[in-house]
A and B are shown apart, each in its own frame.
Chain A
Amino acid sequence: MRTRKQKTANIILAAVLFILSLFFLFPVIWMLANSFKTDAAITADMNTVKAFVPPALNGSFLNNYITIITDTSFLRYMVNTLFYAAIMILAGIVVNGLAGYALAKINFPFRERWVMIIMLLMVVPTETIITINFLFVAKMGLLNTVFGYVLPMIVNPFNIFLFRQVFVSLPDDVWEAAQLDHCSPFKYFFTMVLPMSKTVVATVSVFTFLNVWNDYLWPSLVFTSSDLLTAQIGLNSITSNDNTTMGQTLAVITMITIPVIIIYALFSKQIVEGVVSTGSKEG
Chain B
Amino acid sequence: MKSKRSNSLMGMAFFGPALLLLTLFLFLPMLLTLIFSFTDYFALSPDLTHFVGLENFSKIFKDELFSSAFWNTVKFVLIIVPAQSLGALGLALLINKVTICKKYFKVAFFIPVVMSLAVVSNLWMQIYSPEGILNTMLSNIGINTQPFIHSADQALPSIAIMSVWQGVGYQMIIFLGGLQAINPALYEAAEMDHASGWQKFKDITLPELKPLCVFVFITITIGAFRMIVQPMVMTGGGPSHSTYTLVYDIYETGTVNWEIGLASAMAIVFTVFVVILTIIQTIMTKDKEGKHANKKTKNG
B-binding residues in A (CB < 8 A): 10-11, 13-14, 16-18, 21, 24-28, 30-31, 43, 46-47, 51, 94-96, 98-99, 101-103, 106-109, 111, 114, 121, 123-125, 127-136, 151-152, 154-155, 157, 160, 185-186, 189, 210, 213-214, 216-217, 221, 232, 235-236, 239, 246, 249-250, 253, 256-257, 260-261, 263-264, 268, 271-272, 275-276, 278-280, 282-283
Contacts and interface: CB of A to CB of B under 8 A. Distances in A.
A31 B118 contact: no
Contact of A282 (B10, B33, B215, B254): B215
Contact of B105 (A10, A21, A210, A280): A21
B280 interface: no
B109 interface: yes
Given A131-B251, A279-B216, A10 B100 contact: yes
Contacts of A96: 18
A276 B177 contact: yes
Nearest to B17: A95
A123 B277 CA distance: 10
Contacts of A134: 254-255
B60 interface: no
Q: Which 8 A-B pairs give the minimum distances between C-beta atoms?
A: A108-B11, A131-B254, A99-B18, A276-B177, A214-B116, A102-B14, A132-B29, A155-B21
B173 A125 contact: no
Nearest to A109: B8
B231 interface: no
Contacts of A280: 177-178, 181
Contacts of A263: 114
B26 A129 contact: yes
Given A155-B21, A276-B174, A236 B211 contact: no
A95 B250 contact: no
A24 B111 CA distance: 10
Interface of B: 7-8, 10-15, 17-19, 21-22, 24-26, 28-30, 32-33, 36, 43, 94-95, 97-101, 104-112, 114-119, 122-124, 126-127, 131, 133, 136, 140, 165, 170, 173-174, 176-178, 181, 211-212, 214-216, 219, 222, 225-226, 228-229, 233, 247, 250-251, 254-255, 260, 263-264, 267-268, 270-271, 274-275, 278, 281, 285
A282 B15 contact: no
Nearest to A152: B25
Contacts of A24: 108-109, 165
A155 B136 contact: no
B22 A155 contact: yes
17 contacts: A27-B127, A30-B127, A51-B136, A108-B12, A114-B15, A123-B278, A124-B26, A124-B30, A127-B226, A155-B25, A185-B14, A216-B117, A232-B116, A250-B126, A264-B114, A280-B181, A282-B212
